C-alpha cells in the first residue's frame, strides 16, 4: 500500500509568490518567499471545492462534522452512492482500513489535497485512478495491483464510506498539514528523503511536497 513517486508543481497563488522579479524580488529573502508560497498554498487548500460538496447526495446530520472522529456516529450515517464518495471510500478502505480512525481520515486528506493542486486530476476518482493502467506503477497501489477493488469487509466498508462522505462534504483537514503523499513504515521511497514529513498515524507516514523556486 501507499503512494509512488510524483513531483508537484505550485498552484497559481504559490507560484506567483515565488516568481516575483525586479527590485521587489531582490528585497524578499528566499526564506520569506518560501513562507509566502506555503501560506498561499495552504490557504488555497483550505477551501473545499464547491463541485465536490455539491456531489454529496445524502445530507449529513448536524453532529456529523462535530463528532466525525466517533465511529458510532460515522457508522450511523446514511450511505451515499455518489461516484466521488465511492472512489474516496475505496482508497480509504484499501489503503488504511487496518489503521485507527485518525489514520483513515489522514489518507482521505491526502487525496482531497491532491484534487486541489493543479498538477493532479481535478476529481477524487481521477486522483485515485491516476496511472491505474500501468501495472504496479500507479499513484495508489490497490488501483493497479491486478486484484479486485471490491470492499469485502462490511464494517470497514461502511466506515470508509462515512469518512469519505464527511470529508467530501467539507470537514476540516486538520491532521496532516497539507500532506500530499504517504507511505508505510516498512518502505522508504526516494521522495521521502526530500519531502517534509508532516504527521504519522499508525504505520503510515505523511509528507508534503516541497515548494520549488521558479528557474526564471
Q: Summarize pLDDT for 178-199 with one digit per residue, the tens.
A: 999 999 998 888 889 999 999 9
Where do runs of H (alpha helix) occur along 47-128?
A: 50-54, 63-66, 71-75, 83-96, 101-115, 124-128
Task: Answer yes or no: pTM beyond 0.85.
Answer: no
**The pLDDT of residue 130 is above 70:** yes
Nearest C-alpha neighbor of 57 from the set 85, 29, 25, 38: 85
Q: What is the pLDDT of residue 36?
A: 53
- 130 falls within a domain: yes
Q: What is the pLDDT of residue 49?
A: 44
Q: Which residues pair with 207 in a beta bridge?
A: 181, 197
- 4 falls within a domain: no
**The pLDDT of residue 95 is above 60:** yes
- 216 falls within a domain: no
- 213 falls within a domain: no
- 30 falls within a domain: yes
Overall average pLDDT of the 59-78 stretch = 77
**The pLDDT of residue 140 is above 50:** yes
Report the percentage of the chain scoring pLDDT > 70.
64
- For the stretch 20-37, pLDDT in tens is 344 434 454 545 555 555
Confidence band, pLDDT 50/70/90 cuts, at residue 208: very high
**The pLDDT of residue 75 is above 60:** yes
Q: What is the pLDDT of residue 216?
A: 47
**Domain range for residue 113?**
12-208
Report the percentage of the chain scoring pLDDT > 90.
44
- 29 falls within a domain: yes
- 101 falls within a domain: yes
| Total number of domains constituting the chain | 1
Distance (Å, rounded) from C-alpha 91 to C-alpha 144? Answer: 12
Pairwise pLDDT comparison (132 vs 51), residue with the higher score: 132
Distance (Å, rounded) from C-alpha 141 to C-alpha 129? Answer: 10
Confidence band, pLDDT 50/70/90 cuts, at residue 207: very high
- 79 falls within a domain: yes
On whether the CB atoms of residues 85 and 52 are closer than 8 A, the answer is no
Pairwise pLDDT comparison (31 vs 7), residue with the higher score: 31
Amino acid at each position: 500500500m501507499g503512494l509512488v513517486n510524483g513531483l508537484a508543481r505550485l498552484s497559481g497563488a504559490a507560484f506567483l509568490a515565488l516568481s516575483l522579479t525586479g527590485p521587489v524580488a531582490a528585497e524578499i529573502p528566499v526564506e520569506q518567499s518560501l513562507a509566502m508560497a506555503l501560506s498561499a498554498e495552504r490557504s488555497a487548500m483550505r477551501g473545499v471545492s464547491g463541485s465536490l460538496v455539491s456531489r454529496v447526495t445524502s445530507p449529513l446530520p448536524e453532529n456529523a462534522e462535530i463528532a466525525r472522529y466517533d465511529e458510532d456516529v460515522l457508522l450511523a450515517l446514511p450511505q451515499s452512492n455518489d461516484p466521488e464518495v465511492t472512489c474516496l471510500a475505496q482508497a480509504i478502505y484499501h489503503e488504511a482500513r487496518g489503521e485507527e480512525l485518525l489514520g483513515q481520515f489522514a489518507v482521505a486528506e491526502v487525496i482531497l489535497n491532491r484534487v486541489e493542486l493543479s498538477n493532479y486530476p481535478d476529481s477524487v476518482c481521477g486522483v485515485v485512478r491516476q496511472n491505474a493502467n500501468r501495472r504496479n506503477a500507479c499513484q495508489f497501489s490497490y488501483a493497479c495491483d491486478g486484484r479486485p477493488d471490491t470492499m469485502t469487509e462490511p464494517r470497514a466498508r461502511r466506515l470508509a464510506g462515512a469518512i469519505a462522505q464527511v470529508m467530501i462534504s467539507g470537514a476540516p483537514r486538520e491532521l496532516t498539514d497539507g500532506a500530499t503523499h504517504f507511505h508505510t513504515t516498512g518502505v522508504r521511497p526516494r521522495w521521502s528523503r526530500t519531502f517534509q514529513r508532516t504527521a504519522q498515524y499508525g504505520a503510515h507516514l505523511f509528507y508534503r511536497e516541497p515548494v520549488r523556486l521558479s528557474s526564471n
